[in-house]
Each structure stands twice: as structure tokens, then as C-alpha cells.
Amino acid sequence: MSKQVQGYFYLALAMLTVGSTVIASKLIAAGLPPFTATALRFALALPVFFLLMRASGVRLPKLSRHDRLILFVQAGAGSVGYTTLLISGLSLTSAADAGVIIGTLPVVSAAISILLLRERPRRALLFAVGLASAGVFSIAFTPEAAGGSLAGNALIFLAVVCEGLFILLNKRLTIDIPPLVQSTLVTGIGFVVSVVPAVFEAPLAHGFSTSAIAAVVYYALVPTVGGFLLWYAGAERVSGTEASLFTALAPVSAVILAFTILGEPVGFNQIAGIACVLAAVFGLAFAGSRTEPKFIEGR
């Protein structure tokens, strides 16, 4: 097996784990409050990241006050914000709908760069934004999305915006932090940020289900740690543009897993939504987009 094919294999597996976070979050939403689940996820993943740092000999760099602030905001938005909004949204909407919406991340990230960094939009990007928007609207504003489902879809989209802000803020770091170190720091800060509201959330909990606890353990060890290792193992073997194409597999895997594991129906609206989102992502990549996914587990 060539180095490039190995990279494709690792990237595909990484995106499969990303898609599975939607299913895990759906199970968590039925049995655990969002901040409690988020704090538990980070508490389980953090020791593993420390062990990986020790095994690889990577050390914490000296950070300026500016970089420490950026990492804190990244952890609050991309890690805690993304996870809690995803879990909260999935308590109201379907995993299939959520899978389509999370696929808009590359396009949302590029749009945020235009709005906040004043980057000049290219025609291909504007077309991609239009396609991705059509994909979201196809599942968000359907008869089945009335009431709670529409609110849930809105929360999922806010989670995507949080992850887009995470990527944008990464450009503001003044030093190049190794991915493993950054993942460890963001996970640690995320735990600190989420554990306080988790304490206040405790009286609202009405017992913890076994399936929810198992889903948190899975989320912490497989997508968070395993997904990190798979993504960077694949990304170092292929080009950035090739790697970015594989992000399109995340919504596809989420919808397929929602159908096979949760038994959710997949209708024309979800299929049309995925088609629009995939067309947007592939269009960006083939147009030479420089926006590469930053797979540092906020997801």
C-alpha cells in the first residue's frame, strides 16, 4: 500500500469518527446534561493526551499572554461551545439533519474569514456558500422541522459556527504550536471551562443512563483521541487540498450511521441537503481553496 493510499485510509477513518460524534451526542442527549457530558469527555481524554505527549517527547511551549487568551477562547468556543450545543441540539432534532448541517463547516469557516478578516470573497466561495445554504435550508425548513426540530437545527448550526471561530482564531496565534500540544491544552482548558457549569447543572439531572455514559466514553477515546491520531497520520501523507476533500465524508457517515444505528428515516430532504453540501465542499477544494480543516478536537 502506497503512502498516499495509507493517507486516504487514515483520513477516511478519521472522518468516520467525526460523523459518529453525531450519533454519540444523540445518545448522550437522552441521558446526560450537556455540560456534565462535556466535562466528563475532557476528563477522560486529557490523561490520554498527556500520555501521548510523554511518549512522543513533545513539551509545552512558552506561551505569551496573547496566545494563552486565544487558546482559552478557542477552548470555550470550539471545544465546550461546539460539544454542548451539539448535544443540546440533538435533544431536539434528528441525527440525520444534524449530520447534514455539520458538513457545512468548511464553507462556514470560509464565510467567517470574509466577515471577520475582511478577506475578499472569490466567486467560487460565494457559489459554495449558496450551495451549502441550500443544503441546510432543505432540511431545516421542512414540515417535519416545525417547532422543536427547527430550534434543534439552529443549535446545531451555532455549534458549527463555534467550530468555525475555532479555526479562525487559530490564525491569530503568534507561534506554531504542535498539534498534539494544542489538542492537550484545549482539552485541559475545556475541562476547566465546562466543569463549573456542570456543577450547577447537577440538580437538573434525573439519573444517568448507561448508554449515555458509554457514549461519552466512546466520544472521549475514539473521535477525540483516535480521530486526532488518524487525521494527522493521514494529513502528513497527502496534500492539504486532498485532506480537505475528506471532510466531506463526515456528514455522509453521520447520516448513514443515523440510519443504521438509530434507525432514523433518511428522506429526500436529507439526501438533497447532503448533495448540496458535498457539492459546496468539493467546489471549494477544486477551486484551490486554502482553507484547510483544523482537526483539533473541539468536535
Q: How many CB atoms lie within 10 A of CB 277?
A: 32
- Are residues 157 and 101 in contact, defined by beta-carbon separation less than 8 angstroms? yes
The pLDDT tens digits of the residues spanning 207-251 come to 678 899 999 999 999 999 999 999 888 888 877 666 767 777 888
The pLDDT tens digits of the residues spanning 59-116 come to 888 899 999 999 999 899 888 999 999 999 999 988 888 888 888 887 787 778 777 7
Cα–Cα dist 139/154, whole Å: 11
Q: Which residue has the higher pLDDT, 63 or 284?
A: 63
All residues at 6 or more sequence positions from 246 whose CB lies less than 8 Å from its CB, including other chains: 8, 11, 12, 14, 15, 234
pTM for the model: 0.85
- Are residues 253 and 24 in contact, defined by beta-carbon separation less than 8 angstroms? no
> Which residue type, as a one-letter code, is found at position 62?
K
The pLDDT tens digits of the residues spanning 152-194 come to 889 999 999 998 888 888 888 888 888 899 999 999 999 999 9
Cα–Cα dist 299/291, whole Å: 18
Cα–Cα dist 294/209, whole Å: 32
Q: How confident is the model at residue 197 (pLDDT cuts 50, 70, 90)?
A: very high
Cα–Cα dist 109/202, whole Å: 34
- Nearest Cα neighbor of 276 from 127, 170, 168 is 127
Which helix or strand (DSSP H or E) is residue 185 part of? helix 179-201
Q: What number of CA atoms fall less than 13 Å from residue 77's CA on the CB side?
A: 18
> Which residue type, as a one-letter code, is found at position 224?
T
